């Protein structure tokens, strides 16, 4: 990764969401890696790696809540933005209480995501 580039990881079991978010983020000069499961993300990216993580709450296998707990328990300072298509109004509060830097409900405005990522860098 180039030192002036900002690394973003996307974890969502819906490949079309990964593709769409990656397409959006690369236009803003982010370096983007996508993963279709939390397990794949954890096996490929060390806890010490810098970057912002965008992760879906509902995934098969390890869900986003459990993955986020694992990140927090590891002592990693990586900022996490949780996303979900679920209409549960308590998710944002739950995500922020758990230490996520943000929560967005799908479908969300791309500018909101870009602004949130830029805030953490």
Tell me the per-residue pLDDT of 86-111, one tens digit each, with 9 for 90 and over: 887 789 999 999 999 999 999 999 99
Is 31 within the bounds of a domain?
A: yes
Is 1 within the bounds of a domain?
A: no
Is 45 within the bounds of a domain?
A: yes
What is the mean pLDDT of the segment spanning 66-87?
94
| Residue 24 belongs to domain with CATH number | 3.40.50.2300
Is 77 within the bounds of a domain?
A: yes
pLDDT at site 3: 54
Q: Which pLDDT band, with edges at 50, 70 and 90, does 1 fall under?
A: very low
Is 29 within the bounds of a domain?
A: yes
Number of helical (H) and strand (E) elements in the chain, helices listed first: 5, 5
pLDDT at site 4: 67
Predicted structure pTM score? 0.94
Residue 109: give the domain boundaries. Answer: 6-120
User: For the chain, what is the domain count?
Assistant: 1
What is the mean pLDDT of the segment spanning 40-69?
96
């Amino acid at each position: 990764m180039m030192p002036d580039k900002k690394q973003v990881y996307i974890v969502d079991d819906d490949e079309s969401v990964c593709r769409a978010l990656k397409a959006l983020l690369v236009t803003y000069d982010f370096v983007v890696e996508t993963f279709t499961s939390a397990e794949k993300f954890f096996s490929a990216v060390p806890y010490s790696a810098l970057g912002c993580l965008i992760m879906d709450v509902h995934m098969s296998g390890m869900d986003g809540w459990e993955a986020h707990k694992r990140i927090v328990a590891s002592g990693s300072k990586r900022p996490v933005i949780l996303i979900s298509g679920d209409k549960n109004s308590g998710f944002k509060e739950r995500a922020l209480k758990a230490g996520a830097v943000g929560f967005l409900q799908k479908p969300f405005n791309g500018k909101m995501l870009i602004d949130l990522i830029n805030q953490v860098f």
